Every structure is written in C-alpha cells, then in structure tokens.
Amino acid sequence: VPIAWSGFLAYFFVMVSGICFLYTKNLKFDRIGLASAEIGTIFTALVLITGPIWATPIWGQPWVWEPRLITTLVLFLVYIGYFILRNVGLYRQRVALVCAIIGIIAFINIPIIFASVNFWAAEIQSHPQLGMNKQPSGILNPFLFSLLSFTSLMIFMLLLKIEVLKKKDIFALTVNGDSMIDACIADGDMVLMEPITDSYSLRNGTIVSAMVPGLGTTLKYFVKRGGKIFLEAANPAYEPIELNLE
C-alpha cells in the first residue's frame, strides 16, 4: 500500500503540473510532469511486481483478475503509452501539450482504483476492504512508518529527476559576430540557452536566441516597447529587429 500511495501521489503531481502547463505554457511544468510520471510509473510497476510475490501464498496463484488489480494495470498501460508518445518525434511544445492532457485524464483512474472496493461486490475481490485505521497498533505503526518512508523517497527521487531534466533542456550555441559585444559576448564565445514556450513568459532585457526569417538564428536582447516586440543588439552598429508574431 505505501508503494501504491507513493506512485499515485506522483501521478497527482502529473495532473497538477499538466493543469499548470495548460494555463501558463511554461515548460517548467512539463518537466515536473514528466519527472512525476516516470517516478509514478516506477512505483506502480513495483506494485504490479511485488503484488504477485505475496499473492501466491495467499491466493494460491500470482494474479487474480479482480477490480483493483485490473484498474491499476490499466493505469500502468496508459503511462506506457504516455512515454511512447514522448518519443514519436513531435516537437517539444506539442508533446508537452498532449502529455499534459493525457496526465490530467489518466488521473481519473486513480479514484476509481481506490473506490473499486465499493463499486463491485466484495465476493469478487481478493483485496481487503478499506479500514487501516481499525488495525491494531502493532500493524498500524509500521504501516505509517513505511508510508512516510516511501513518500519521502518518492519526493527525493522526484526533485532529483526534475533537476536532471532541467539540465537536459539546456543547449549550447557558438556565437558568430559582434552584435552582443557590449554584453561581453564576443565572436566565438559559447552561450548556454534554455528553451521557452512563448514570448509572454519573457522579461524585457532577456538575452534570447531566435530564428528570424532571412537572418537565421540570432542572439539578441528581447524588448517589448509600444505594444511591439524587438530583438535589439548590444552594439549600436546594429539596428533593432521588429518581430511579427502573427
């Protein structure tokens, strides 16, 4: 149960980050969603692996097609599809959008898993009914300790994975030219960049790398002025570039 709880909590983070991404279009929430999905799926896989180990002496067989196991397996398979989708070659923003929607929809299955003991008759279920609070302290206390331990482990793994994904998003560009010389960025320098989803998340004065028709990739200051957006050089010899985002 503590392993399952930790996995489902991670999937809750997937849903929340998906909602936040749909609202803000900030790739930070996509990283959180992906990290949570990976950790949640690891814990769910452990549930499906360790379950048959203790089930064999109890049930006499490793697997029984009963409601809670079936709904958990369905959730696991949905996230296998989630990861396959992330590797089909779609560009980053489209993948983030689709996966955010899948993560939100997939979470609907988790309340079904918990409530499955009430949806179907008790005689067709092999899992015990809800009621850990009625257990004696000799069982309840170790259960609570295990629950806290696995939850802490899940959160630690999640934070670590988010940092790994953040670094994975960073890419390097080699500067060609002197348009940013007053920003101490000279010809031949290498700059590290992090992708963004849209211009609305940028602040004035942020240095960006942008694809400009006719110019290719250029490194400039991002400037909003008079309802318009410009790419401005850190060198007075270069004219500002006005962007048309329509």
Radius of gyration of the chain from its Cα atoms, rounded to whole angstroms: 25
Reading the block at residue 207, the tokens are 């240095």
CA distance 7 to 46: 9
Q: Is the pLDDT of residue 42 over 50?
A: yes
pLDDT of residue 59: 66
Q: Is the pLDDT of residue 121 over 80?
A: no
DSSP 196-240: -S-GGGPPTTEEEEEEETTTEEEEEEEEEETTEEEEE-SSTTS--
pLDDT of residue 139: 65
State the pairing for strand pair 216-225/171-174: unpaired
CA distance 24 to 205: 21
Average pLDDT of the chain to the nearest whole number: 82
Q: Is the pLDDT of residue 124 over 50?
A: no
CA distance 194 to 172: 9
pLDDT of residue 21: 93
pLDDT of residue 204: 83
pLDDT of residue 1: 74
| Tens digit of each residue's pLDDT (9 = 90 or more) over 190-238 | 888 777 655 556 778 888 888 787 778 888 898 888 878 889 999 999 8
Q: Is the pLDDT of residue 117 over 70?
A: no
Residue among 141, 117, 119 at smallest CA distance from 130: 117
pTM of the shown model: 0.70
Q: What single DSSP character describes residue 177?
A: S
Reading the block at residue 65, the tokens are 């097609």
CB 172 within 8 A of CB 191: yes
Phi, psi of 190, rounded to the nearest 5 degrees: -115, 130
Q: Is the pLDDT of residue 67 over 80?
A: no
Q: Is the pLDDT of residue 9 over 80?
A: yes
